[in-house]
Structure 1
Amino acid sequence: MERALSILLFVPIVVVTVLAFAAVIRRLLGVRVGLVRALLAAVLAMLVTAPILSAFAPPDPATVSGGEAFLLAAASLVIAALLAMAALVVLEVLLPTGSLPGPVEAVRGARRRIERTRRYSTIVRIALRHGLGRFLRGRPQPGPTSAAARRRLARSLRSALDDGGVTFVKIGQLLSTRRDLLPAEFADELTALQDKATPVPWPEIEAVLAAELGRGVGEVFRDIDREPLAAASVAQVHTARLLDGTEVVVKVQRPGIARIVERDLDILLRLGDMLEERTSWGKAFGVRGLANGFAVALREELDFTIERDNLQAMAAALAGSPERGVRVPTAYPQLSSERVLVMDRRPGTPLGTAAPALARLDAGRRAEIAAGLLDSMLDQILTHGLFHVDLHPGNLLLDTDGSLSMLDLGSVGRIDAVTRAAIGRLLMAVGRGDSVTVTDALLQLLDRPGDVDERELQRVVGALIVRYAAPGSTVGVTAVTALLNTFAAHGLGVPPSVAAVFRAVTTLEGTLALVHPAFDLVGQARASAGRRIADTLTPDNLRDALEQELSTLLPMLRGLPRRLDRIGDAVENGRLRFNVRLFADDQDRRLVTGLLHQALLTVIGATAGVMAVLLLGTDGGPRLSTGVALFPLLGYGLLVVSAVLVLRVLVTVFRHT
């Protein structure tokens, strides 16, 4: 009974002692220490207290008075706390705070690692099942030598991407628009991913509809086609009629797709972080920002309320622009939710499968359709700052009269007025062949480092303009690659919003080539820029621009005399002062902080070395045991500390990178 009672009392005493040690250590260090580290240091202090006390105590404890016992115990506690604090400092040097996750993060991280491993295994099995295993060996493989072999490999690739899920389907959709990058057999086969993904069985779709609508499907729709009109990577579309007979399309999100997307995005974001940290081109391109932007866009596509709002905003933008023959569906907000979107049914055929309809049109009409689509995209980018970022052929419907309807506005690009103005100046300067203005516009669009060789950048940009912006040229993958290489060579980063514009233009180029293979994108863009310049020079537009500038300048001009009077009064009375923020720049602060740290480490290391020499040369002093004295032990310890600190400083001094 007494033994059990002593055990019950011992446990809370130990816990209280450890917590007390942890609180004292954190308080004495004066910095924020993690709870786990503080508890480990407290346990260390508690464990070494008894050996230290026994080392200080005389051979016969009976000769120690009460006051001496108290002093010995206090000294033991203080030394134990100092040892624990030193252990924390050493631990901070070896494993800085934040380098290891906490318990909760460790559990979550382990769970994510398990999911990633399963996902990797799934991807490998999919590749093996479709005969693509030989491409995973890390060695160059010979490509197909005949058109039939290319078609077979293209079908295998399309099936593997389809089975891989949303992320891989998105990759296939982007590749399907790059006919200048892929053989025709691959581009034709990957086009099926734009609206021909594997459909979800109707019972699963019906369950999603009932859950989102809050009532039975028959209470909302007079009838609905159980066979999907189109099946894409995120959702599939069914035709239906409302109770009043209105024809609509119902876009339903695939069940369980959100969890799959989050798992793939976790892999993508980790890959982006790794590339930006370990590669120079990854840092120059801002791969982490691009991956984050892609993740945000894909998450937006999973929320159909965002697409509903985008449809309404895009409809308003198109209504405020000249008629280009491009429209968007009208959404039904009262019947839409995060996973269901109801829209009116637009007539037409997906552009990716509209080759027979396009063949019936003459070359002039096809050129008009392509020009209208390009002008509409330029209106969206330059005038409204709201544009469709993924206009591949599967997201466009071609009507019999040649008009186009844009679909899938779950992810749109948005750019501010300053960026729009810079892009406009860029297009106008490209049309004139003005490399100086093009360079200035690019520097305003991109994230520039502290030092840029602008003259060299102007020469490189001028050469690119001559090569790719000449009449008859096409803005293909070679031009985009050359431009991105130029950005990387000069340390220019591409913000996500600007990257979305690049993506929209390159995707649109493949779509325009499908509508009209001989379409001159550069020439049409130059002509459109010329028309926009002429429109801005009309008397009404000039008057509006002047009014806007005056409305901006007038408040500043009104306050200018008052500010000048205050400055003059301060100068006259000797009260003029200048406030300068020292080290406001992060680089300056890091430089000064690094120098101070090196100087402090040097002083501490030298001081520790001098103290070590003095202690090692001192005779006498208390003894920890019959063969170990306190002063030599402390001296050797300080000598080790001095050596470590001096070596750290020398490594920093002699390191070249």
Structure 2
Amino acid sequence: METAVTVLAFLATMVVSVLLFAAVIRRLLGVRVGPVRTLLAALLAVFVAAPVLQALAPPDPTSLNAGELVLIGLVAVVISALLAMAALVILEVLLPTGSMPGPVELWRGTRRRVGRTRRYATIVRIALRHGLGRFLRGRPAPGPSSAAARRQLGRSLRAALDEGGITFVKLGQLLATRRDLLPAEIVDELTALQDRAAPVAWAEVSAVLAADFGRPVEEVFAAFDHEPLAAASVAQVHAARLADGTDVVVKVRRPGVAAIVERDVDILLRLAGTLEERTSWGRPLGLRALATGFAAALHEELDFTIERDNLQSMAAALADSPDRGVLVPTAYASLSSERVLVMARLDGTPLGAATAVLDGLGEDRRAELAGGLVDTMLDQVLVHGIFHVDLHPGNVLVTADGRLGLLDLGSVGRLDAATRDAIGQLLAALGRRDSVAVSDALLQVVDRPAEVDERELQRAIGALIVRYAAPGTTAGAAAVAALLRTLAAYGLGVPPAVAAVFRAFATLEGALGLVRPGFDLITHARAAGTRRFAEALGPDRLRGSLEDELAALLPVLRRLPRRIDRLGDALEHGRLRVNVRLFADDQDRRLVTDLLHRALLTVIGSAAALVAVLLLRTGDGPRLSGTVELFPLLGYFVLIVGVVLILRVLVVIFRRD
């Protein structure tokens, strides 16, 4: 019993001592230190305190009075705390706070890392199976030199992406729209990627519906077709009927698809970041930004509440525009959720299979529908700022009454007012075939480098206008691809929202070719841009624009005389001062801070090295053990600290990215 009490008393003393040391160390350092690091430093101080006290005390401790014992004990505590603080600083230098996860995060991270490793192995096997292994080497692989070789590479890449699953299929579909990044032969092959999958069993679909509705499917719908109308990698669509007899379609997200996408997107983001940091071509392309935009778009596609809101916004935009024979299905918000979307069913035929229906409409009506589809897209881009980014034939429906329905609004583009105005100016300049105005409009919507040869850009744009904007030209997708290649050649980055506009019009050409073969997209868009620019300069619109500008300027004009009077009074009485804020820019502050940190590290490291030399040249000092003296130990310790600090400065100086 007495032994147990002694052990408990010892443990309690140790705990109290550790906590006291931890509080003192955190207080003296003056910065927030993690609890684990603080406790480790306190334990070090506790274990070091006894040898330090023993080294400081004389051979016969009984010869000391109480005051001397307290003083020696206090010195030992201070030295122990300083050693623990120095250990903390060295640990912070070698292993900064936050660089190591906690136990829970470490366990979760290990599980994720194991899952990623397995997925990496699967991806590598798929790449090797399709002959893409040479592109996985550390050194750059030579690209295909002929059109046939590029086409074969495109087939291999398409097959590998198709086998990779949903995320890689979506990535391939996105790459198929970036003709500024990939050769035409590869883009053509990637365009053939189809987002298809085997249907999910009804039992799993029913479980998802019941969980989201909070009741059985039979209580929500009067009828529900268990066989899907279509099945894709993200969701599948079923036909159903509401209790009031309204025919609807129900889009259900596939169970488990979110976890798969999250895992693969994490891999793509890591890969994009690595390529951007370690390759000469990754940074100019902005691979991290491309991957981030792709991840955001894919996450939006998984959340059906976003598509529900997009449907409602697009319906409001179409209602606010002239009727051009284009409509979108009505979303039932009360029955929709993140995994389920209920929409009114449009009675019609997919555009790719609607040849007979279109032939029955006549050439004039087909031309009217094609023009209405282009004008609707222009309304979405230039007026409302929300537009369908992927109007391929599979997302366009021909209704029984000869109208066009837009489907799959899971991912839409959004433009701010300034970008809409710049794109409107671009279309108007194209209508006038003014290469200077086209270049100026483009420079407003792209990310330009510090220097760009605007005259050469104007010449290149002029050549494109002569080639693709001539009357009768129908190569809309080729014109967009040539424009994007020209922008890339001059180092101009295309923001994702603007790239979505180009992608939308390039994709639209395929649908227009089915609605009205031979439809001239470029001529129609050029004429529409000229017409809209002229309408903007009309008396009614011009008056409204002037009124809006005047309303915005009126508060400024009202305050202007008072401010001029204050400036004049201050100037007259010698009180006018100009205050310039130094280092207002974040980059300037970071530069100065980095320079100061390096200078301080150099001074502290040099001082530590000098102190270490002095300690090593001094006498042995108190003995910590039979063979270890205090001063040499401190000297070597301080020398290590100085060398580490100086090496940190040198590695920054000599390192080349």
Whichever residue aligns with residue 556 of structure 1, its letter is V
Alpha-carbon distance between aligned partners in 2 of 1:189 and 1:293, rounded to the nearest angstrom? 22
What SS does structure 2 have at the residue aligned with 1:170?
Answer: helix
1:135 and 1:141 in contact (8 A); partners too: no
Match of 1:498 in 2: 498
What SS does structure 2 have at the residue aligned with 1:190?
Answer: coil
TM-score, normalising length from structure 2? 0.85
Match of 1:524 in 2: 524
Task: Give, in angstroms, the shift of residue 245 of structure 1.
Answer: 2.4
Q: In structure 2, do the counterparts of structure 1 residues 55 and 416 end up closer, same or farther at CA, with 3 Å as the change threshold? A: same
Q: Which moved more, 1:171-180 or 1:240-249?
A: 171-180
Task: Give, in angstroms, the shift of residue 385 of structure 1.
Answer: 0.4
Match of 2:484 in 1: 483
Residues 150-188 of structure 1, C-alpha deviation per residue, up to 9 Å, x if partnerless?
Answer: 99x979967x76665432342455577799945899578
What SS does structure 2 have at the residue aligned with 1:241?
Answer: strand
Pairing 1:319-468 to 2, within 5 Å after superposition: 319-354=319-354, 368-399=368-399, 402-448=402-448, 452-454=450-452, 456-460=453-457, 462-467=459-464
Match of 2:86 in 1: 86
Q: In structure 2, do the counterparts of structure 1 residues 469 and 279 end up closer, same or farther at CA, with 3 Å as the change threshold? A: farther
1:543 partnered with 2:543: yes
1:474 partnered with 2:482: no
Q: Which moved more, 1:566-575 or 1:472-481?
A: 472-481
Q: Give aligned pairs, total.
A: 641
Q: Which moved more, 1:498-507 or 1:371-380?
A: 498-507
Residues 444-484 of structure 1, C-alpha deviation per residue, up to 9 Å, x if partnerless?
Answer: 334455xx113x15513531451364433735478547736
Match of 1:190 in 2: 193
Alpha-carbon distance between aligned partners in 1 of 2:166 and 2:624, rounded to the nearest angstrom? 68
Pairing 1:282-321 to 2, within 5 Å after superposition: 282-321=282-321
Q: In structure 2, do the counterparts of structure 1 residues 580 and 183 end up closer, same or farther at CA, with 3 Å as the change threshold? A: closer
Task: Give, in angstroms, the shift of residue 541 of structure 1.
Answer: 0.8
Task: Give, in angstroms, the shift of residue 497 of structure 1.
Answer: 2.9
Whichever residue aligns with residue 216 of structure 1, its letter is P
Q: Which moved more, 1:19-28 or 1:207-216?
A: 207-216
What SS does structure 1 have at the residue aligned with 2:251?
Answer: strand
Match of 1:30 in 2: 30
1:162 and 1:198 in contact (8 A); partners too: no
Task: Give, in angstroms, the shift of residue 399 of structure 1.
Answer: 3.2
Alpha-carbon distance between aligned partners in 1 of 2:411 and 2:208, rounded to the nearest angstrom? 22
Pairing 1:122-141 to 2, within 5 Å after superposition: 127=126, 132-136=129-133, 138=135
Whichever residue aligns with residue 338 of structure 2, its letter is E
1:173 and 1:392 in contact (8 A); partners too: no
Q: Which moved more, 1:383-392 or 1:163-172?
A: 163-172
Match of 1:101 in 2: 101
Task: Give, in angstroms, the shift of residue 344 of structure 1.
Answer: 1.7
Alpha-carbon distance between aligned partners in 2 of 1:653 and 1:546, rounded to the nearest angstrom? 57
Alpha-carbon distance between aligned partners in 1 of 2:186 and 2:614, rounded to the nearest angstrom? 79
Task: Give, in angstroms, the shift of residue 548 of structure 1.
Answer: 0.9
Q: In structure 2, do the counterparts of structure 1 residues 513 and 101 end up closer, same or farther at CA, with 3 Å as the change threshold? A: farther
Q: In structure 2, do the counterparts of structure 1 residues 167 and 621 end up closer, same or farther at CA, with 3 Å as the change threshold? A: closer
Task: Give, in angstroms, the shift of residue 652 of structure 1.
Answer: 4.0
2:249 and 2:344 in contact (8 A); partners too: yes
Whichever residue aligns with residue 573 of structure 1, its letter is H
Task: Give, in angstroms, the shift of residue 588 of structure 1.
Answer: 0.9
Q: Which moved more, 1:279-288 or 1:91-100?
A: 279-288
Alpha-carbon distance between aligned partners in 1 of 2:190 and 2:384, rounded to the nearest angstrom? 32
Match of 1:204 in 2: 204
Q: In structure 2, do the counterparts of structure 1 residues 69 and 568 end up closer, same or farther at CA, with 3 Å as the change threshold? A: same
Match of 1:6 in 2: 6
1:554 partnered with 2:554: yes
Residues 413-467 of structure 1, C-alpha deviation per residue, up to 9 Å, x if partnerless?
Answer: 2221112112222333344454544444444334455xx113x155135314513
Match of 1:608 in 2: 608
Q: In structure 2, do the counterparts of structure 1 residues 307 and 107 end up closer, same or farther at CA, with 3 Å as the change threshold? A: same
What SS does structure 2 have at the residue aligned with 1:168?
Answer: helix
Match of 2:253 in 1: 253
What SS does structure 2 have at the residue aligned with 1:244?
Answer: coil
Alpha-carbon distance between aligned partners in 1 of 2:489 and 2:504, rounded to the nearest angstrom? 21
TM-score, normalising length from structure 1? 0.85
Whichever residue aligns with residue 460 of structure 1, its letter is L
Match of 1:222 in 2: 222
Alpha-carbon distance between aligned partners in 1 of 2:191 and 2:648, rounded to the nearest angstrom? 60
Task: Give, in angstroms, the shift of residue 383 of structure 1.
Answer: 0.8
Q: Which moved more, 1:64-73 or 1:541-550?
A: 64-73
Whichever residue aligns with residue 466 of structure 1, its letter is A
Task: Give, in angstroms, the shift of residue 249 of structure 1.
Answer: 1.7
What SS does structure 1 have at the residue aligned with 2:193?
Answer: helix
Pairing 1:39-188 to 2, within 5 Å after superposition: 39-121=39-121, 127=126, 132-136=129-133, 138=135, 164-171=164-171, 173-174=173-174, 181=184
Residues 219-277 of structure 1, C-alpha deviation per residue, up to 9 Å, x if partnerless?
Answer: 33332222212222322222222233222222222223222222222223323333333
Which blocks of at least 5 consecutive residues in structure 1 are unaligned? none
Whichever residue aligns with residue 228 of structure 1, its letter is P
Match of 2:267 in 1: 267
Runs of 4+ in 1 over 6 A off after TM superposition: 139-143, 153-156, 175-180, 359-364
Whichever residue aligns with residue 261 of structure 1, its letter is V
Task: Give, in angstroms, the shift of residue 563 of structure 1.
Answer: 1.6
Alpha-carbon distance between aligned partners in 1 of 2:114 and 2:443, rounded to the nearest angstrom? 43
1:389 and 1:500 in contact (8 A); partners too: yes
Residues 1-30 of structure 1, C-alpha deviation per residue, up to 9 Å, x if partnerless?
Answer: 333333333333333322322222222111
Q: In structure 2, do the counterparts of structure 1 residues 210 and 613 end up closer, same or farther at CA, with 3 Å as the change threshold? A: closer
Match of 1:573 in 2: 573
Alpha-carbon distance between aligned partners in 2 of 1:481 and 1:382, rounded to the nearest angstrom? 23
Task: Give, in angstroms, the shift of residue 397 of structure 1.
Answer: 0.9
Alpha-carbon distance between aligned partners in 1 of 2:516 and 2:178, rounded to the nearest angstrom? 15
Alpha-carbon distance between aligned partners in 2 of 1:69 and 1:321, rounded to the nearest angstrom? 91
What SS does structure 1 have at the residue aligned with 2:580?
Answer: coil
Percent sequence identity over aligned pairs: 62
Task: Give, in angstroms, the shift of residue 132 of structure 1.
Answer: 4.4
1:19 and 1:39 in contact (8 A); partners too: yes
What SS does structure 1 have at the residue aligned with 2:237?
Answer: strand
Whichever residue aligns with residue 453 of structure 1, its letter is E
Alpha-carbon distance between aligned partners in 2 of 1:547 and 1:350, rounded to the nearest angstrom? 46
Task: Give, in angstroms, the shift of residue 557 of structure 1.
Answer: 0.9
2:175 and 2:187 in contact (8 A); partners too: no
1:116 and 1:263 in contact (8 A); partners too: yes
1:609 and 1:642 in contact (8 A); partners too: yes
Which blocks of at least 5 consecutive residues in structure 2 are unaligned? none
Q: Which moved more, 1:215-224 or 1:116-125?
A: 116-125
Whichever residue aligns with residue 484 of structure 2, its letter is L
Q: In structure 2, do the counterparts of structure 1 residues 521 and 232 end up closer, same or farther at CA, with 3 Å as the change threshold? A: same
Task: Give, in angstroms, the shift of residue 655 of structure 1.
Answer: 5.0
What SS does structure 1 have at the residue aligned with 2:324?
Answer: coil
Q: In structure 2, do the counterparts of structure 1 residues 339 and 651 end up closer, same or farther at CA, with 3 Å as the change threshold? A: closer
Q: In structure 2, do the counterparts of structure 1 residues 82 and 494 end up closer, same or farther at CA, with 3 Å as the change threshold? A: farther
